[in-house]
Amino acid sequence: MSENLSADLIKDILKEKRADRRWKNIRFIAWFLLILGVIAAITWQMNPPPIHSSEGRYVNLIRLEGMISPGKDFSAETVIPLLRGALSDKSAVGVILDIDSGGGTPVQAAIIHDAILSLKKKYHKKVVVVGEDLLTSGAYYIAVAADKIYVNPNTLTGSIGVVMKSFGFVELMKKLGVERRVYVAGSDKDRLDPFLPQNPSDLEKINHVMQEVHENFTKAVIAGRGSKLQGDPKILFSGDFWSGQTALQLGLVDGLGNLLDVMEKEFQASRYQEYNGTPNLFRILMNQFTTAWENVVYLS
């Protein structure tokens, strides 16, 4: 009886050890596949495989949409790596930026604008912008760094100006019986406080700052468009916007057309490689490997 129990116990111990060994092997393989997948995804992200087709020539396409702002998809942090990858691709004949944006912060727009100029010079590649519904303000600031700009006849274009919006709550505070208490070190630290009446000093200050930003915007447009600009500068740089059809007459853009038209006209190409999809693929791969690993850990 005891011998049978001992034999059964030994069998159970051996069985448990084999199970432990099996799960260790599974964990090792899972880790190996995870690391391999991450390396492959990063490599693919940094150097997407070129398109090879019977049609031959292709361009790299980057879609830029929404508000230009830090932490957004349309920010210097996100866009510049895409620009660098697209322009450094030796197999591509050029780069198209498909933009649909009403603008955003002047700093982010200026950084992306300057990056386009620098990367064009470094990689000797043509960059063309195609405007969709909106190509205004900061988006147009970015566009003038390109070699050519195309829009739809109905694309809202231009708005070469600077705007700052706020509210005043002085009378509301009086009605509510609210007392404002602010403590500052520095006499001008509380400039433009919406709970205080406007004063000439604050207005002079903000106007001066906005004029400087507007001048930088204007200089960028003149540098990018040069003799192509038509019309009175007071009108062009008034902050107004126009349809794409009128923008063409004013020299703000080079032509009317869509993505396929521009590919054929500027690059003699009929295929494009879209760069914006790469980061999403990386996240999908990471999620898949993470889920697989979590299942292994849970089962063990």
User: Which stretch, 24-33, 47-56, 208-217, 268-277, has highest mean pLDDT?
Assistant: 208-217
Strand residue runs (E) in 19-77 = 58-65
Strands 58-65 and 241-242: unpaired
User: Which DSSP helix (H) or strand (E) runs through 149?
Assistant: strand 148-151
The string of pLDDT tens digits covering residues 281-295 is: 444 454 455 444 444
Which pLDDT value is given to residue 207? 87
Q: Give percent of the chain above pLDDT 90.
A: 54
Which pLDDT value is given to residue 31? 77
Which pLDDT value is given to residue 12? 67
The string of pLDDT tens digits covering residues 117-148 is: 999 999 999 999 999 999 999 999 999 999 99
Which pLDDT value is given to residue 3? 58
Residue 50 has pLDDT above 50, yes or no: no
* Least confident piece of the model among 55-64, 214-223, 259-268: 55-64
Which pLDDT value is given to residue 5? 55
Radius of gyration of the chain (CA): 29
Q: What is the mean pLDDT of residues 65-89?
A: 94
The string of pLDDT tens digits covering residues 239-257 is: 999 999 999 999 999 999 9
DSSP per residue, 98-139: EEEE--B-HHHHHHHHHHHHHHHHHHT--EEEEEEEEEETHH
Please give the mean pLDDT across all residues of the chain. Answer: 83
Q: Distance (Å, rounded) from C-alpha 125 to C-alpha 165?
A: 39
Residue 27 has pLDDT above 90, yes or no: no
pTM of the complete model: 0.73
Confidence of residue 228 (pLDDT cuts 50, 70, 90): very high
Which pLDDT value is given to residue 42? 60
Q: What is the mean pLDDT of residues 148-161?
A: 96
- Residue 34 vs residues 44, 61, 149, 223, 248: alpha-carbon distances, Å: 15, 30, 43, 49, 52
Which pLDDT value is given to residue 197? 81
Residue 205 dihedral angles phi and psi, to the nearest 5°? -65, -50
